Amino acid sequence: MEHSHSNFDVIILGGGGAGMMCGMQAGQRGRKVLIMDHAKKIGGKILISGGGRCNFTNIGASAQNYVSENSHFCKSAFSRYTPEDFIALIKKHRIPFHEKKLGQLFCDRTAQDIVKLLKSECDDAGVQFLLDCKIDSISKIESDRPGFEIKSAKGTFTCQSLVVATGGLSIPKIGATGLGYQIAKQFKLTCVATAPALDGFTLPPQGPHAWSDLSGLAVDCTVTCKSSITFRENILFTHAGLSGPAALQASLHWHPGESIWVDFLPGRSSFAWLSHQKRAGSRTLARNLLSEAIPSRLAQKLCELALPGDDPLVRISDRDLEAFCEKLHHWEIRPAGTVGYSKAEVTRGGVSTDELSSKTMEAKKVPGLYFIGEVVDVTGWLGGYNFQWAWASGWAAGQVI
């Protein structure tokens, strides 16, 4: 693209959800905005999100659905840009959508609808885009007023406000890099350690925590981590570990060395059920009885691991039965790790919220420099929460830059 001027009021690094929301807000306020991205197309992550249908918000989103060293930081932005605000934008563009479950809103058609919405709002607000453009360096212009110089493969640009919206490290093959964290470091801003999250677990290949023989099996259960954070949804056993929504959610909260706890019969007392069967004289093998409540491959595996033998129920002592049932509801699994950035939906950690104004996302120590979206240490659960943070933080910065 041609640029008549290389000087802008606002330059936004990153043409993802946060960057475009911020750009359109600033453009609507009459600011001259340039969005720069090294990718060839904008909104790459939006396009692959939500299985191609983009789970663009969650109607129940609130601070408790986010992990951050400061759980209060996101409240200001969320109170000023709500899921209803984004839904109003969706309706304005006549994009058909539906609630899938648990407040999660998805496009009926494809995620392309969301990218088109953001692009058309940006175009209407006069926002310019410079894509396929490698960023070489960023520096502060020494003057009384804030100002930055961005050197890139397509020229040198200056701006008063620089917004970093370069996202996290997940899915490097579609263009994720650590540029945002490097910029933070360059300006001596603290970052909270990053880790892949919403990626599920890898399990040891052998031993009591190996479950690869159940590969392909999905079960409704609850997964608890940190002894108090519980998710009830499916887990999916894979050849290498655990996936499925409940495992993805748990991986957001998990740290190396910790265990997770699975209840394979949530909401039900297995001891009341099985001891009643025993008292009635059931001669059925425990694993066959258990198969009435959970998939038989899982029932067999659990019995193998936690009962002394393959016996009919009547032959199992009350003590063994009680211990077994206790385990069914509180099964400890010790992951080897999480799957990693190649599959992670988000990056946990990032630019410390201590460094930023919760109202504007501006770096307290560096006037004119802003961080929005996933690059910030605010990470949402699975279910549309991460986009809501991208929209709300982008909107907040967009009002002031």
Ligand X SMILES: Cc1cc2nc3c(=O)[nH]c(=O)nc-3n(C[C@H](O)[C@H](O)[C@H](O)COP(=O)(O)OP(=O)(O)OC[C@H]3O[C@@H](n4cnc5c(N)ncnc54)[C@H](O)[C@@H]3O)c2cc1C
Contacting residues toward ligand X, per CB under 6 A: 13-19, 37-39, 44-45, 48-50, 54-55, 135, 165-167, 170-171, 175-177, 179, 345-346, 373-374, 384-387, 390
Rounded to a whole number of angstroms, the minimum distance from the CB of residue 226 to ligand X is: 22
Contact 256, 337 (CB under 8 A): yes
Helix (H, G, I), strand (E, B) or coil at 227: coil
Between 48 and 323, name the residue whose CB sits nearer to ligand X.
48
Between 97 and 324, name the residue whose CB sits nearer to ligand X.
97
Rounded to a whole number of angstroms, the minimum distance from the CB of residue 394 to ligand X is: 7
Q: Which helix (H) or strand (E) holds 150?
A: strand 148-152
Rounded to a whole number of angstroms, the minimum distance from the CB of residue 166 to ligand X is: 4
Rounded to an integer, what distance in angstroms lies between the CA atom of residue 181 and that of residue 165? 11
Between 76 and 393, name the residue whose CB sits nearer to ligand X.
393
Contact 12, 135 (CB under 8 A): no
Rounded to an integer, what distance in angstroms lies between the CA atom of residue 103 and that of residue 44? 24
Contact 372, 165 (CB under 8 A): yes
User: Tokens 């801003």, residue?
Assistant: 189
Between 152 and 160, name the residue whose CB sits nearer to ligand X.
152
Between 97 and 211, name the residue whose CB sits nearer to ligand X.
97
Which of 382, 389, 397 lies closest to 55 in space, CA to CA? 382
Rounded to a whole number of angstroms, the minimum distance from the CB of residue 82 to ligand X is: 15
Rounded to an integer, what distance in angstroms lies between the CA atom of residue 306 and that of residue 309? 9
Between 157 and 331, name the residue whose CB sits nearer to ligand X.
157
Rounded to a whole number of angstroms, the minimum distance from the CB of residue 38 to ligand X is: 4
Rounded to a whole number of angstroms, the minimum distance from the CB of residue 177 to ligand X is: 4
> Tokens standing for 397?
């910065």
Q: How far is CA 27 from the centre of its chain?
A: 28
Helix (H, G, I), strand (E, B) or coil at 52: helix
